Amino acid sequence: MYMRFLQLNVNQEALMLSRNYYSETVLPRLHTVKGCLFAHLIQSQIKETELISLTLWAKKEDAEEYQNSPVFKQLMEEFLPYLDGSNEWKIHLSDKMELEYKPVSEEPVIRAYQVSSQKNLKSSPLSDSAQMYVRIVSHTVQSGKLDEFENLYKTEIIPVLQKTDGCLCAYMLKNFQKADEVFSVTIWESSKSAEEYEKAGIFNSLLDKLKHTFSRLYQWKMELANESDKKAVTSDDMSISKYTIVTGKQFK
């Protein structure tokens, strides 16, 4: 399987319109696209104007065929009015050889990942409930430790998540562009379920099972943090992103 993230930064004023467009137009069209298993629009809890279209595909080829199709092109053209303009400015020479400053529109960012391990932890989990919650954790793994990380995720992490109240799905993703970067994507019944999972110390105990596979720089920073009682780990080593599911549907 194959997971695809389409990051969209929208205008504050167009936030509700963009959500309605996804629910009323994008979902019905994706339902008819070959290989699309589910689609959800998720909203960042840090920056509410950051939306991500999260789609799961049977095969990489299905996702690529869709991305190159007239359907995707039309959907993006229709969505453009909702997108936010960037604060960055492009400088170039005009025909009169004078410097001109023009705003640069912020383009949607597409990222795609191979699903290495996955588990639907509850039956029929992915409804269109807006109460659901997505948690994305990125890790940097040592060279040569990727297979071990994947095995531990299957044998140690997924069984624990399966027993955790409120956890609906768990996916381990491999980054095609960066071989040492992996992601854990979990879908929850609600933000409360995910918060209780963190407060109970379950996340930290699972992290302990995996941390020997993380980059040596990450391990050194962890040791430094423990010794000095200060934060040393940066977003380059491990990051946790949290999103609310705005709308979505499981197709197959």
> 157 and 93, same structural domain?
no
In this predicted model, what pLDDT tens digit does every residue of 37-96 receive, in sequence order?
A: 989 999 888 888 888 899 989 988 999 999 899 999 999 889 888 887 644 444 444 455
Question: How large is the C-alpha radius of gyration of the chain?
Answer: 20
Average pLDDT over residues 144-149: 89
132 is written with which tokens?
């659901």
> 222 and 156, same structural domain?
yes
Last residue of a domain, one of 91, 109, 127: 109
> 245 and 121, same structural domain?
yes
The stretches of the chain forming alpha helices (DSSP H) are 15-21, 27-31, 60-67, 70-79, 146-152, 158-163, 191-199, 202-210, 216-228
User: Please, which pLDDT band fits residue 26 given cuts at 50, 70 and 90?
Assistant: very high
Note the pTM of the prediction, 2 decimals. 0.75
On the question of pLDDT at 231 being above 50, the answer is no
pLDDT of residue 232: 41
> 97 and 73, same structural domain?
yes
> 150 and 94, same structural domain?
no
C-alpha neighbours within 13 Å on the C-beta side of residue 149: 26
Last residue of a domain, one of 83, 109, 135: 109
Number of domains in the chain: 2
User: Please, which pLDDT band fits residue 109 given cuts at 50, 70 and 90?
Assistant: low
On the question of pLDDT at 29 being above 90, the answer is yes
Please give the residue range of the domain that contains residue 201. 115-250
- Residue 236 is classified by DSSP as T
> 140 and 214, same structural domain?
yes
80 is written with which tokens?
């453009």
CATH label of the domain that carries residue 23: 3.30.70.100
**Closest Cα to residue 250, out of 129, 98, 87, 99?**
129
pLDDT of residue 157: 92
pLDDT of residue 214: 83
On the question of pLDDT at 23 being above 80, the answer is yes
> 200 and 83, same structural domain?
no
> 177 and 237, same structural domain?
yes
On the question of pLDDT at 104 being above 50, the answer is no
pLDDT of residue 80: 86
On the question of pLDDT at 33 being above 90, the answer is yes
Mean pLDDT of the chain: 78
> 64 and 148, same structural domain?
no
User: Please, which pLDDT band fits residue 245 given cuts at 50, 70 and 90?
Assistant: confident
Hey, what amino acid is at 186?
Answer: T
- Mark 112-123 as b/e (b = at least 16 C-beta within 10 Å): bbebbbbbebee
Q: Tell me how many degrees the CA angle 110-115-121 measures, rounded to the nearest 5.
A: 120
Last residue of a domain, one of 76, 109, 142: 109
> 246 and 135, same structural domain?
yes
Q: Helix, strand or coil for residue 217? A: helix
